């Protein structure tokens, strides 16, 4: 918001437009842009952003970055929940393909399950099929979680689950480095289950 104000003072228009969709979305031209923009600025930016995906206005200047933090917080929490479900399934002797068949069409269905499941051979776009080659690395997810927690603290919001999830990602990075995809959190949970 401060940058937008400084740009306006110099007669420049500015939008903040973080995206979601990672490497696969960039390749396919299906990125979602969360755009914070002043009046009239969104329409001009949407022409450019529309060539790469779907621009969505989420509010005034700074709102795009705020939406991105909220989106990634929710995505990280979902990924840990999905990974815990598959970790429990493994411990109970349930084949991950059978759990996926049920969970992907029932009440636990979410993007982290149906588009990015952290187990191989159930979703073609899953990094688990490629040894967790990063589309969005664990380090980047942890950075976004830290930013979300900082924003929450600065605005008197309490995020107990987000705090724990950020700690899990920090532990994963300390154990394995942060280069693997954020969905590799499942390998960290498997390791914790064996300890």
68 is a catalytic site residue: yes
Contact 111, 153 (CB under 8 A): no
Q: 3-class SS at 19?
A: strand
Question: What DSSP line would sit under 130-193, residue for residue?
Answer: GTT--SSBHHHHHHHHHHHHHHHHHTT---HHHHHHHHHHHHHHHHH-S-SBGGGHHHHHHHHH
Main-chain phi, psi angles of 4, to 5 degrees:
-65, -40
Contact 68, 174 (CB under 8 A): no
Selecting among 10, 68, 90, 143, the annotated active-site residue is 68
State the Cα angle at 32 between 26 and 33, rounded to 5°.
105
So which residues are the catalytic ones? 68
């Amino acid at each position: 918001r401060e940058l937008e104000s400084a740009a306006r003072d110099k007669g420049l228009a500015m939008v903040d437009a973080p995206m979601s969709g990672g490497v696969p979305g960039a390749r396919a031209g299906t990125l979602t842009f969360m755009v914070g923009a002043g009046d009239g600025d969104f329409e001009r930016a949407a022409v450019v952003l529309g060539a790469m995906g779907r621009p969505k206005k989420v509010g005034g200047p700074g709102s795009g970055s705020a939406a991105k933090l909220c989106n990634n917080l929710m995505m990280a929490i979902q990924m840990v929940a999905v990974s815990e479900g598959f970790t429990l399934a493994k411990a109970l002797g349930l084949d991950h393909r059978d759990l996926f068949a049920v969970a992907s069409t029932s009440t636990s269905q979410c993007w982290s399950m149906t588009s990015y499941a952290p187990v191989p051979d159930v979703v073609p776009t899953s990094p688990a099929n490629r040894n967790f080659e990063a589309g969005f690395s664990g380090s980047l997810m942890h950075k976004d979680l830290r930013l979300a927690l900082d924003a929450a603290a600065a605005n008197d919001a309490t995020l107990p689950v987000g705090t724990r999830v950020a700690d899990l990602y920090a532990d994963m990075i300390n154990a394995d480095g942060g280069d693997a995809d954020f969905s590799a959190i499942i390998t960290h949970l498997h390791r914790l289950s064996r300890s």
